[in-house]
Structure 1
Amino acid sequence: MRIGVYPGTFDPITLGHMDIIRRGAKLVDELVIGVTTNISKSPMFGDDERIDMVRREVAQIDGNIRVVGFNSLLMDFAQREGARVIVRGLRAVADFEYEYQMAGMNQQLNDNIETVFLMADVGLQPIASRLVKEIAIFGGDIRKFVSPSVREAVVERIEERGMRQGDTKS
């Protein structure tokens, strides 16, 4: 059985992530979505919230897909899951430079696991979770970038935490 891992923070999961998940699921017998916390980022949603959000979103996708949280080196996680492939999405040249370096380091850690890069759909390439959050915090419309349920969760979190910035309409 070919197992692949698609890791990320998914804070929040975007339509770009969903595109890579749909396409990645076709390449392997089982796709494990590894939800992790990147220590260099400040997540809007907690680990369990992000895992639940991703599970709800991928439930509609055909294929053998599992969502698992992890807090370890990616290659250790992939090995524990029995993966032979790491799936990574690319949006732009800047992504490639970072991902190329990471793939090289990961290969040094475990050369039995290959990294496969998928280009995001051209219409989804500019989408980044960080930018989605920023747009939402400033009151912008994020409907083009996330599903309706994710949009609702983001807006609700911003309101809960009083994070709204910029001019507010009265």
Structure 2
Amino acid sequence: MSNIAVYAGSFDPVTNGHLDIIKRASRIFDKVIVAVFHNPNKNPLFTMEERMEILEEAIIDYEGVEVDGFEGLLIDYIRKHKAKVIIRGLRAVSDFESEFQMASMNKKLAPEIETLFMMTSTENAYLSSSSIKEVASFGGCIEGLVPDPVIPKLINRLREEDKMI
């Protein structure tokens, strides 16, 4: 039996904090599926396909990790892929409340599926995709905060969308 976990998120864009969680989870589980979520309530900068491509590039050397996309309930996706664990990354205590609510709802919907909270490494605790986009939009340096291939893609997209300030 395979020990499969799913790490779901919007990854718009993927940060080094996300990669930290993915790498560490890949040491615990036989297989980690990084599931890019299409949230109809959000307006992402990158399409789901672009986010998946960027993630594929970022995790190319990670063993036991694959990238996929989905929409709908995470629990349905988890069951379809025969996973048993949802990975959730926490940066600070402030993340815990909303993550706890989500984990509780998932537990109600699927008592057989566990949620594993992983604290990001200290050096990545302040990173979020939204803060990365904000810093980049003001022309700030985002080197070391995201995988190198993300930088030109993010800068170009912000320019295309006329979001550079």
**Aligned equivalents of 1:115, 1:79: Cα separation in 2:** 14
**Aligned equivalents of 2:116, 2:124: Cα separation in 1:** 19
CA RMSD of aligned residues (A): 0.9
User: For each residue in 1:85-138, what CA deviation from the matched residue of structure 2 results, as whole angstroms up to 9, or x when unmatched?
Assistant: 001100011111111111000000001110001100001000000110011111
Unmatched runs of 5 consecutive residues or more in structure 1: 166-170
**Aligned equivalents of 2:101, 2:131: Cα separation in 1:** 23
Instruction: State which drifts further: 30-39 or 7-16.
Output: 30-39
**Aligned equivalents of 1:138, 1:80: Cα separation in 2:** 42
Alignment of 1:99-118 (within 5 A): 99-118=99-118
* Structure 2 counterpart of 1:164: 164
What is the one-letter code of the residue matched to 1:92?
A: A
* Structure 1 counterpart of 2:60: 59
Q: What is the percent sequence identity of the aligned residues?
A: 39
User: For each residue in 1:126-159, what CA deviation from the matched residue of structure 2 results, as whole angstroms up to 9, or x when unmatched?
Assistant: 0000110011111111113111110111011112
* Structure 2 counterpart of 1:87: 87
What is the one-letter code of the residue matched to 1:102?
A: M
Unmatched runs of 5 consecutive residues or more in structure 2: none
Q: Are residues 1:9 and 2:10 paired?
A: yes
* Structure 2 counterpart of 1:168: none
Q: How many residues align?
A: 164
**Aligned equivalents of 2:54, 2:35: Cα separation in 1:** 13
* Structure 2 counterpart of 1:47: 48
* Structure 1 counterpart of 2:124: 124
1:163 positional shift:
1.3
**Aligned equivalents of 1:122, 1:162: Cα separation in 2:** 33
**Aligned equivalents of 2:29, 2:148: Cα separation in 1:** 28
**Aligned equivalents of 2:46, 2:147: Cα separation in 1:** 16
